[in-house]
Structure 1
Amino acid sequence: MSEHDLAHPFERLTPSFLMDAVETLGHWCDGRTFPLNSYENRVYQVGIEDQDPLIAKFYRPDRWSREQILEEHQFGFELEEQELPVVTPIKNDCGETLFEYQGFFFSLFKRKGGHAPELDNLDNLYTLGKTLGRFHLVGSKSDFKHRPTLDSQSFGHESFKLLSENFMPKQLKPAYDSICKELLQAIDEIMLSCADAPLIRVHGDCHSGNILWRDDLPHFVDFDDARMAPAMQDIWMLLSGERYDQLAQLSEIADGYSEFYDFPTRQLRLVEVLRSLRIMHYSAWLARRWEDPAFPHNFSWFNTERYWGEHILSLKEQLSKLDEDPLALM
């Protein structure tokens, strides 16, 4: 086996490779390439002769199928048609948005500026609520056929199994296994009690890093994790701080959201469930990507005994929160 066979696929994304790929679509590159902050995929700003730079996104091989990526793109265009502030891929003259070059799927986007939203600003949260209400109204019109559903099996049970069997230090494994089994049992029971909550198409990873604030509006980017899920999946990530802080934030979000779509009050029971699943899934995501050289370099604190000790403590905190009364609208 050659060294090339052992290399991670993303190591092939040299500046010349990027420019060759972009130029297959008729754009003449000026030699400037700049990597942007992205780990699951690889995203670059690419200079174009006599034009504004473009953003080139190269999808991680074997993660999404062509159908799943195109379904993500189509969802973005549906939102854009309703004049929602989203960043969608550029279409070529044939209306295509997904391209292939030497084993990589890639898409191009216009460069958009902006800054992270100030989530401690209640006016901003009201605006975010209005935007998400419109967003979810569109998301409820039809279902994804190819993209997955957020559930406790894939985000929770599979994450637990992977980490327990392959990553957890021997001396911490009994404590980890015990808390995960308790937590997953509680999660499954709550999710079963909320089984009638409708699943809609959601952004899926609606944290402040995927929202650009520009022209007094939140612009949503990176729909890579779009999937079927309860609407609350896009709402809970906007909440932070102590309980009384979250109650005030929730009130503003709900007021704006309800102008366009019924706020999912009954799903408030899922806030800590979804947070718990995200914590478990995030650690499993790091584990699954550890062979990618970018991960040990940028997440050097992962897979240390200290990290796993803190992870177990965070899971214990989540188990306690599941016993508390859920957030309620004021």
Structure 2
Amino acid sequence: MTDDTDLPDPPQPPLPVAVQRAAQAASQPSSQPYADLNPDTVLDALEAAGFPVDGRLLALNSFENRVYQVGLDEGTPVIAKFYRPARWSDEAILEEHAFSLELAEREIPVVPPLRLPSGDTLAHHAGHRFAVFPRRGGRAPELDRSDTLEWIGRFMGRIHAVGAVQPYAHRPALDIASFGDEPAAYVLDHGFVPPELEKVYRGVVAQALDGVRAAFERAGDVTRIRTHGDCHVGNMLWVEGQGPHFVDFDDSRMAPAIQDLWMLLSGEREDRVRQLGDVLAGYEEFCEFDLRELHLVEALRTLRLIHHSGWIARRWQDPAFPAAFPWFDTPRYWEARVLELREQIAVMDEPPLWRMPGMG
């Protein structure tokens, strides 16, 4: 008779890859940029910056940075944004602040940072950098309405008229290398794509990026200006009687103007043609639009899709990401990305939404 205590433990089934990566992230506190950003630290930072807080603190939905609504002893609460370490230099953050302040001074409805009692807009506390913003209310705009799209286009034209005056000196440009080549290589080189899908993903992303490059070649040498950079519906607050307010310029960079317009377009082709007409009807009251940039609509959408997967992968050691995107390491996620990119490859071969001058 054998003594069971001498038998080896039965083999255990391997943990899912997502669980393994989450456990690895949790064991590396140095890779957790907000591990020491607790409520006391947030309140102390606001107090040190000159804001008399009353102890009320509400964490808002944000992954890249950490954003809180902070109650004050007097007046309405403020919004405090704590920037992700090492993402932007101080100069890059201040340059973005200066752009949004310039827009606000011209009575364009953006939400710029508040000037602190020190006169600055960026503060440092306990190893963290943060800015404070006024709280603004509003709802999501109704993008199925022509008058809404024209109103948004009007203000976006004003933003771009200012953005074209001078370039950024410290913030990067949106380009194929940083939004396509690099994130695609990162997810492949770091084992995020399941082995059984690696070959097909590698092939389809290479084909998609070839399509992106061809689209940029068709567009030619388009002008890059200071843009919002991430102008989706979640970064616009609609106020009745006032129209849109644009928030969160954190992704602002040098890009073609169409980068701030294409995310307003959705649905079937005929829907997107109509929406584009509505947006440009307002836009061109204040800023001329280069029709060649319409070649870039689906190319920019493709870059955003590729970049999004790379963004999650690069942030995977932040515990907030495995919790928010638990399906990221599953075959189903990457199968969907392959299908998505195949659709984009086909769409990028279609003619632009409007006919270009000189097209037959």
- What is the SS of the residue equivalent to 1:176? helix
Q: Which amino acid aligns with 2:54?
A: D
2:224 equivalent to 1:199: yes
Q: Which moved more, 1:88-97 or 1:310-319?
A: 88-97
Percentage identity across paired residues of the two chains: 50
Instruction: Please say which of residues 41-50 and 183-192 is displaced more in the overlay.
Output: 183-192
Write out per-residue CA displacement over residues 67-101 of structure 1, whole angstroms, 9 at most, x where no aligned residue.
00000000001111211000010102342100001
Report the CA distance between 1:160 and its aligned residue. 1.1
Q: What is the count of residue pairs matched by the alignment?
A: 329
Summarize the alignment of residues 27-46 of structure 1 with structure 2, pairs less than 5 Å apart: 27-46=51-70
The change in CA–CA distance for 1:276 and 1:4 in structure 2 (over 3 A counts) is closer
- Displacement over 6 Å in runs of 4+: none
Structure 2 residue aligned with 1:188: 213
Q: Is the 8 A contact 2:215 2:296 kept in 1?
A: yes
SS at match of 1:33: strand
Indicate whether 1:269 and 2:275 are aligned: no
After superposition, the C-alpha distances for 1:21-71 in whole angstroms (9 at most, x for unaligned) are: 000012221111000111100000011112211110000001000000000
CA distance in 2, matches of 1:5, 1:205: 30
- Cα deviation, 1:279-319, whole Å, max 9, x if unaligned, reads 00011001111111111111122221100000010000000
The aligned residue for residue 171 of structure 2 is: 147
Deviates more, 1:185-194 or 1:254-263: 185-194
In the TM superposition, residue 329 of structure 1 has moved relative to its aligned partner by 6.8
The one of 317, 322, 340 equivalent to 1:314 is 340
Query: Is 1:55 paired with 2:79?
Result: yes
Matched, 1:173 2:198: yes
RMSD (Å), alpha carbons: 1.6
Q: Is the 8 A contact 1:203 1:223 kept in 2?
A: yes
Amino acid in the other structure paired with 1:244: E
C-alpha separation in 2, matches of 1:50 and 1:258: 43
CA distance in 2, matches of 1:172, 1:156: 19
Counterpart contact for 2:208–2:341, Cα < 8 Å: yes
Unpaired stretches in structure 1, ≥5 consecutive residues: none
Q: Does the 8 A contact of 1:37 with 1:43 survive in 2?
A: yes
* Separation of aligned partners in 2, 1:6 and 1:111: 32
Distance in 1 of aligned mates of 2:29 and 2:64: 21
Question: Which residue pairs with 2:275 in the alignment?
Answer: 249
Deviates more, 1:268-277 or 1:166-175: 166-175
1:1-330 aligned at under 5 Å gives the runs 5-6=29-30, 8-166=32-190, 167-214=192-239, 215-328=241-354
Q: CA offset at residue 155 of structure 1?
A: 0.4
1:148·1:228 contact (CA, 8 Å) conserved in 2? Answer: yes
Amino acid across the alignment from 2:171:
R
